[in-house]
């Protein structure tokens, strides 16, 4: 089987923020981000995804796990925290942008 069939073919960017307020006061927010970005050599496009829970729309997540879609196989693996700080900062920036947009639309 060629690795071409196993390459990441998901969304270029998909972000989801959902209120998990059932029974929690104040509400919590579940976030998920999936995106495509070059590997560290810039040669292949890989899929990256991360998710977490926010206590409110004013807090940023601390450390969070990122999974990367393997180039050769159809599998997601957890990326070590010390790898790809650029991807981690990009995801954190996307979260900040989304939080600001939600607050400007009147979400608490």
Residue 2 is predicted with a pLDDT of 45
Provide, rounded to the nearest whole percent, the portion of the chain with pLDDT above 90.
31
Instruction: Write out pLDDT tens, residues 56-82.
Output: 777 777 778 899 997 788 889 999 989
**CA-to-CA distance for 3 and 1, rounded, in angstroms?**
7
Neighbours of 30 (CB within 10 A): 13
Q: How far is CA 5 from CA 2, 9, 14, 72, in A?
A: 6, 9, 22, 9
Instruction: Write out pLDDT tens, residues 18-59.
Output: 887 666 566 678 889 999 999 889 888 899 999 988 877 777
Given a cut of 60, whether residue 3 has pLDDT beyond it is no
**CA-to-CA distance for 44 and 36, rounded, in angstroms?**
10
**CA-to-CA distance for 57 and 68, rounded, in angstroms?**
26
Please give the residue that has the higher pLDDT: either 8 or 5. Answer: 8
Residue 52 is predicted with a pLDDT of 87
């Amino acid at each position: 089987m060629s690795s071409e069939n196993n390459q990441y073919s998901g969304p270029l960017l998909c972000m989801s923020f959902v209120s998990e307020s059932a029974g929690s006061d104040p509400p919590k927010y579940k976030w998920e981000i999936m995106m495509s970005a070059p590997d560290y050599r810039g040669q292949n496009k890989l899929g990256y995804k991360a998710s977490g829970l926010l206590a409110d729309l004013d807090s940023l997540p601390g450390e969070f796990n990122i999974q990367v879609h393997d180039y050769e196989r159809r599998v997601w693996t957890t990326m070590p925290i010390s790898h790809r700080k650029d991807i981690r900062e990009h995801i954190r920036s996307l979260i900040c942008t989304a939080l600001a947009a939600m607050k400007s639309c009147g979400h608490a």
